[in-house]
Amino acid sequence: MVNETQHTCSASSSSKSDGGSSSGGESSKDSSRCSTPVLDADRHERLREKMRRRQDSGDKWFSLEFFPPRTANAAVNLISRFDRMGAGGPLFIDVTWHPAGDPGSDKETSSMIIANTAVNYCGLETILHMTCCNQTKDDITGHLQKAKRLGLKNIMALRGDPTGEEWEEEVDGFNYAVDLVKHIRNEFDDYFDICVAGYPTGHPEAESYEADLRHLKEKVFAGADFIITQLFFRSETFLKFMKDCQAIGITCPIIPGIFPIQGYHSLRQLVKLSKLEVPQEIKDVIEPIKDNDAAIRNYGVELAVTMCRELLGSGLVHGLHFYTLNREVATTEVLKRLGIWKEDPRRPLPWAVSAHPKRRVEDVRPIFWASRPKSYIYRTQEWDDFPNGRWGNSSSPAFGELKDYYLFYLKSKSPREELLKMWGEELTGEESVFEVFTCYISGEPNKNGHKVTCMPWNDDPLATETNLLKEQLEKVNRRGILTINSQPNINGKPSTDPIVGWGPSGGYVFQKAYLEFFASSEIVTALLKVLKKYELRVNYHIVNVKGQNITNAPDLQPNAVTWGIFPGREIIQPTVVDPVSFLYWKDEAFALWIEQWAKLYEEESPSRMIIQYIHDNYYLVNLVDNDFPLENCLWQVVDDTFELMN
Amino acid sequence: MVNETQHTCSASSSSKSDGGSSSGGESSKDSSRCSTPVLDADRHERLREKMRRRQDSGDKWFSLEFFPPRTANAAVNLISRFDRMGAGGPLFIDVTWHPAGDPGSDKETSSMIIANTAVNYCGLETILHMTCCNQTKDDITGHLQKAKRLGLKNIMALRGDPTGEEWEEEVDGFNYAVDLVKHIRNEFDDYFDICVAGYPTGHPEAESYEADLRHLKEKVFAGADFIITQLFFRSETFLKFMKDCQAIGITCPIIPGIFPIQGYHSLRQLVKLSKLEVPQEIKDVIEPIKDNDAAIRNYGVELAVTMCRELLGSGLVHGLHFYTLNREVATTEVLKRLGIWKEDPRRPLPWAVSAHPKRRVEDVRPIFWASRPKSYIYRTQEWDDFPNGRWGNSSSPAFGELKDYYLFYLKSKSPREELLKMWGEELTGEESVFEVFTCYISGEPNKNGHKVTCMPWNDDPLATETNLLKEQLEKVNRRGILTINSQPNINGKPSTDPIVGWGPSGGYVFQKAYLEFFASSEIVTALLKVLKKYELRVNYHIVNVKGQNITNAPDLQPNAVTWGIFPGREIIQPTVVDPVSFLYWKDEAFALWIEQWAKLYEEESPSRMIIQYIHDNYYLVNLVDNDFPLENCLWQVVDDTFELMN
């Protein structure tokens, strides 16, 4: 009777995802999901505790609902959106359950895998929806076990649509959401935080508003931790509902579901599915402008902002849940106008922290994957322990196979034609490659007038921090030092520094200068002679695709290259240059030449052979200047090298 | 027949230990016994590997032999000597086996316990002598098991003196050192490094020089790792012996035993016991000056230096073993003149590293025991793991009971009368106590003209580093801020800095300013008001004897207050302020008022009641200034406190 999937309005909506793939960088998220020693309050908190703490502190929050995409390309876009919208600091996101889309499968577009990506790769606290209608107990237990294994800790327990007309209650079956709640608590004890749906105007199929409230109370008393409501159009609707819930003894958090109207058609479809009544005054505004998407969206934003202000102003509401329809603009606009979008998300660590419970203590990573954090997370997902405090020199376990690496969410966001425009339809020699690297750094268009906004090793434009080195990087790339990773030295900047800062305020952050690049064997020969002069000061690792390895690193010790000192804390050293993992990274870095670049061209074509030549003959080099309080000497090392060659 | 205990000349010598108890500080030792991640080469090396590495690098070394003392007071003096002579960088020390002195017992003067102290508390690589004659297999196995349990890794296997005239070989018994070597290898596999004795002129009881060489070869082939020789008077004696050994196939290291002649009587007694012939030319010099100790010692030093130079100059000798007779002056003089005494011992960490194999990875300690490292080692000896990389906030296991603490080697080196002179025969009020603290800091004599060279919390004079703060410390002690521990802030000094440096060269060391003191409740009340102004910048813990605890430390997180950044290394943070262990330290710090100070006076005496009053009513305070790059604000905090009180 109680049809709860209607609640998940966005899941049944056919709205197209917004196609833009503008990139935003891997900025880390706010404290709502920090799992590092730096920010302890959140370290081992579960979602319901985070909610309670925000309520106690009066810190308003928001959450975002997404539905699984239909295609792998749309999935790549959705994940970029997770990163960008995650930067605004949602307390959590949720991913709807799509019964028609094989939601518990390993498909790249399944609800399960999208939620897995959000938690593990984007570091977002995530709720996975799950419906129980027409499913066996074993199926459901299987899904829940899988969710647990993937690091998901929160379930939205729903009934789902009965299939077929003649649906009847099954004895001992899963007939209602409450059965799923009970099942989760029976089988998984207190492992999951459970959310259930609430209907501010009563469920359309319920006998009455009061009966629906009683159903809700049953779900809560069966073990649900909080409630998210179906959308509504007037704040009074929600506030009355909330009071009615409290009157019958529901005391858990009740989070209003906010639906910013984004277009005429999506609104109509939603209303049809959810059987909600759109108030006449809204219809009156929308009908005359129904063909003007921008106008409708502006109106929808205005309406949502007004309603949210009323809700927050009531003092009864601490968080707002947004039905995004997988779109960014309207929701982001509402959040910014409400002032609860984090404009300057503090980073708990210099890199994005994964939200998998297993990785909670992780606070050290090799620098090599700085621009490919998802690849690092993927390749280390089988680890039982994650380094914290110290990387250690014998503790780095095996990295996942490179072959696993070409998973959809690690692929470039750009299509082949775009890449060819950026990296050259036809290469004429190694110099054409130098030019591509140089244009990526400089931001200038290449000789065909196209800007180079990504590289095989870096799917996003240059990081702000790297911009500090732009001039020197441009100069050396032009001459064949093909840089793929670098950081400037930092001698004690405040942890709140907008570019290089991370961790709690009141601290100081430090870095050793780092430079990583591909270079020809001629350059490497000269470089090695020059490096003799810098012995002790500069540590280097030089390796080619065959694994020939030249280094002056003592033993196989890692070198800490980023660290922070904070009030009342132990020292955090989140980035290291680790000799062992460098050899794993080397495989990946060389493979990217072929897989992402060479394969754009016909086999046997000159362009392909040029890339293949570089792959076969160049060296991958990393340099660390240990004297972080002095001026970075790595540019001098490179200059000396070129001078020696002349 | 082969009486080997003669080898251990010092064990049978009755020479009195030199009585001085001048104190030298807890300086750490050279790389020969480092067990920290900073200096990896030595990290897990056993003695024979260290020897081999020194031989390969051409780095000459020395070792020192001591015998167990007769009284507890002499033991306290000997341990101070270990610390002072350890600072010169011996590759190892050895402790002789004293069959008459219950050598395997738990007595404070037993060979076993002295060797245990050398390893665990003084951080010295140590060889324990062991004899087998007239002992059962079970006895011997028991001794070896105990040695292993205490962290001893090296045994000098000797036969020992047969007791009684009618000694006969026992069938299957321990008749010769070779039996002990075999037994150790049988029962303990390769756990121990084994040393055996060699006789450059042949053992006096051996059938012949050649027969003695064959016995030596048997011992080596049974599993000995190296040989230390009986003393000799001419370098040719040793060099011939070495060639003869090599000629019959002995290839392990052979270390010459050097005996600097220190006095007429000790030489005579030694010669009698060892049945050695003193060359006529030496007798000719000594006889006329036999009553002039200084003259004999000067001659002995001269003789030893000449012989050692010949040995080292031969190119065949890499290390020298000194029979110290438990005295310092002559041996130190010889070593200094040879240039192999380390004048500036590099510290691997800011505190003395214990040489127990279990503690090899230890590189973090609470700052509180900085002046009482032996107490810290003692109280943590039951730990299974030692913190490294990070102290962690839930990882500090239980500290040993305070009652165990009054062990002889944790007692003050000074007798009661001396302490009364320093700390006051009669106290007239709290101000008398302030004066004692002030005089300790200033180095000025107290009003009765006695210098205060130690305090209950610090058995040694002020550390060089603390001298940097002397002026301010003196000022605040005068007013009742009774300081017991402090360090200045350091913002990146070279790791080779003679005062605050530690770890390998090429690094930078840092510190947060720290101040720990006792103060009255009036001072603490004002201090707490002042600290509100310094919130975030200054972390504090304030506790009284009853355990009332006031702090602004986040959670129970430790605060790193000393750390170092080194080329090609992870960050080392050897000192932390840990809230949990502070409460253990608090018990110790308060108990010292009573046990070391109050108990000097009669019960019910006014002096005793003054100390008891302070014990009962004062607070123990620690302050950390987190803003290490700025000027230390802790003095301003104290000034503000006094100003508020006026």
Q: Say if B32 falls within a structural domain.
A: no
d(CA A160, CA A180): 11
Residue B404: pLDDT above 70?
A: no
d(CA B263, CA B268): 9
Choose, out of B39, B559, B566, B569, the residue to mutate when testing the contact with A (most A CBs < 10 Å).
B569
Q: How many CB atoms lie within 10 A of CB B125?
A: 26
Q: What is the pLDDT of residues B185-207, one digit of tens each?
A: 999 999 999 999 999 998 878 88
Residue A14: pLDDT above 60?
A: no
Predicted local distance difference test score (pLDDT) of residue A356 = 84
- Closest CA–CA distance from residue B258 to any residue of chain A (Å): 37
Q: Say if A371 falls within a structural domain.
A: yes
Same-domain pairing of A134 and A198? yes
Higher pLDDT, A109 or A168: A109
Q: Summarize the confidence of residues A313-331 as an average pLDDT.
A: 95
Same-domain pairing of A81 and A144? yes
Q: How many domains does chain A have?
A: 2
Higher pLDDT, A448 or A463: A448
Q: What is the pLDDT of residues A522-541, one digit of tens each?
A: 999 999 999 999 988 999 99
Average pLDDT, chain A: 87
Q: Which residues of B touch A389 (CB under 8 A)?
A: 389-390, 392
| pTM score of the predicted model | 0.82
Predicted local distance difference test score (pLDDT) of residue A41 = 47
Contact A557 B624 (CB under 8 A): no
Q: Are strands A513-519 and A619-625 parallel, antiparallel or unpaired?
A: antiparallel
Residue closest to A550 by CA, chosen among A573, A521, A570: A521
Q: Percentage of residues in chain B with pLDDT exceeding 70?
A: 89
Using alpha carbons, list the distances in angstroms from residue B186 to A373, A534, B357.
Answer: 54, 51, 22
* Chain-centre distance for alpha carbon B523: 38
Q: What is the pLDDT of residues A370-408, one digit of tens each?
A: 988 888 888 888 888 888 888 876 555 688 776 654 555
Predicted local distance difference test score (pLDDT) of residue A31 = 28
Nearest residue, CB atoms, B568 vs list A389, A391, A626: A626
Q: Summarize the confidence of residues A232-245 as an average pLDDT.
A: 96
- Closest CA–CA distance from residue A272 to any residue of chain B (Å): 52
Q: What is the pLDDT of residues B66-118, one digit of tens each?
A: 999 988 888 888 988 998 999 899 999 999 998 888 899 988 899 999 999 99
Same-domain pairing of A531 and A623? yes
Nearest residue, CB atoms, A539 vs list B563, B568, B626: B568
Helices (H), B327-386: 329-338, 373-379
Predicted local distance difference test score (pLDDT) of residue B536 = 85
- What is the band of A212 on the pLDDT scale with cuts at 50, 70, 90? very high
Q: Say if A482 falls within a structural domain.
A: yes
- pLDDT winner (highest mean) among A103-117, A450-464, B622-636: B622-636
User: Is ipTM strictly over 0.90?
Assistant: no
Q: Which domain holds residue A495?
A: 365-645
Residue B534: pLDDT above 90?
A: yes
Contact between A610 and A433 (Cβ < 8 Å):
yes
Q: Which residues of B touch A554 (CB under 8 A)?
A: 40, 568-569
For chain B, the residues whose C-beta falls within 8 A of a C-beta of chain A are: 37, 40, 388-392, 491-492, 506, 508, 510, 536-537, 539, 552-555, 557-560, 563, 565-571, 573, 576, 624, 626, 628-629
Q: Which residues of A touch B491 (CB under 8 A)?
A: 492
Predicted local distance difference test score (pLDDT) of residue B43 = 52
Q: Which residues of A touch B576 (CB under 8 A)?
A: 570
Choose, out of A508, A571, A582, A623, the residue to mutate when testing the contact with B (most B CBs < 10 Å).
A571
Q: Say if A276 falls within a structural domain.
A: no
Residue A159: pLDDT above 50?
A: yes
Same-domain pairing of B546 and B497? yes
Q: Summarize the confidence of residues B484-509 as an average pLDDT.
A: 94
Choose, out of B361, B390, B563, the residue to mutate when testing the contact with A (most A CBs < 10 Å).
B390
Same-domain pairing of A422 and A386? yes
Predicted local distance difference test score (pLDDT) of residue A393 = 65
- What is the band of A168 on the pLDDT scale with cuts at 50, 70, 90? low
Same-domain pairing of A386 and A326? no
Q: Summarize the confidence of residues A129-147 as an average pLDDT.
A: 93
Average pLDDT, chain B: 87
Contact A568 B576 (CB under 8 A): no
- What is the band of A479 on the pLDDT scale with cuts at 50, 70, 90? very high
Higher pLDDT, B121 or A158: A158
Using DSSP, state whether B486 is helix, strand or coil.
strand
Q: Summarize the confidence of residues A354-358 as an average pLDDT.
A: 83
Q: Say if A67 falls within a structural domain.
A: yes
Q: What is the pLDDT of residues B36-65, one digit of tens each?
A: 343 444 556 899 999 999 999 899 999 999
Q: What is the pLDDT of residues B331-351, one digit of tens each?
A: 999 999 999 998 766 788 888
What CATH number has the domain bearing residue A235? 3.20.20.220
Same-domain pairing of A321 and A382? no
- Closest CA–CA distance from residue A209 to any residue of chain B (Å): 46
Residue B322: pLDDT above 60?
A: yes
- Closest CA–CA distance from residue B310 to any residue of chain A (Å): 36
Catalytic residue among A4, A45, A65, A435: A65
Length of chain A: 646
Contact A573 B569 (CB under 8 A): no
Pick the range with the lowest mean pLDDT from A12-26, A270-284, A395-409, B358-372: A12-26
Residue B359: pLDDT above 90?
A: no
Predicted local distance difference test score (pLDDT) of residue A7 = 35
DSSP B620: E
Same-domain pairing of A49 and A144? yes
d(CA A528, CA A78): 45
Higher pLDDT, A15 or B588: B588
d(CA A108, CA A79): 11
- What are the CB-based long-range contacts (under 8 Å, 24+) for B485-488? B485/B367, B485/B368, B485/B370, B485/B371, B485/B457, B485/B514, B485/B515, B485/B516, B485/B622, B486/B513, B486/B514, B486/B515, B486/B516, B487/B367, B487/B370, B487/B511, B487/B513, B487/B514, B487/B561, B487/B562, B488/B513, B488/B632
Q: What is the pLDDT of residues B587-618, one digit of tens each?
A: 999 999 998 999 999 999 999 999 999 999 99
Residue closest to A433 by CA, chosen among A617, A588, A583: A617
- Give one word for B49, left, alpha or beta, with left for phi > 0 and alpha for psi -120 to 50: alpha
Same-domain pairing of A322 and A459? no
For chain A, the residues whose C-beta falls within 8 A of a C-beta of chain B are: 37, 40, 388-392, 491-492, 506, 508, 510, 536-537, 539, 552-555, 557-560, 563, 565-571, 573, 576, 624, 626, 628-629
Say if residue B408 is exposed, middle or buried (CB neighbours under 10 Å; 0-12, 13-18, 19+).
middle
Q: Say if A65 falls within a structural domain.
A: yes
d(CA A152, CA A192): 8
Residue B288: pLDDT above 70?
A: yes
Q: Say if B450 falls within a structural domain.
A: yes
A-B C-beta contacts closer than 8 Å: 106
Using alpha carbons, list the distances in angstroms from residue B26 to B21, B29, B82, B461.
Answer: 14, 9, 10, 11
Q: What is the pLDDT of residues A420-454, one digit of tens each?
A: 999 999 999 999 999 999 999 999 999 999 999 99
Contact A569 B559 (CB under 8 A): yes
Q: Say if A293 falls within a structural domain.
A: no
Pick the range with the lowest mean pLDDT from A32-36, A124-128, B470-474, B494-498: A32-36
d(CA A493, CA A175): 59
Predicted local distance difference test score (pLDDT) of residue B40 = 45
H/E stretch holding A330 reads: helix A329-338
Same-domain pairing of A332 and A382? no
Residue A171: pLDDT above 70?
A: no
- Closest CA–CA distance from residue A391 to any residue of chain B (Å): 8
Same-domain pairing of A120 and A223? yes
Chain A residue at shortest CA distance from B553: A568
Same-domain pairing of B253 and B396? no
- What is the band of B399 on the pLDDT scale with cuts at 50, 70, 90? confident
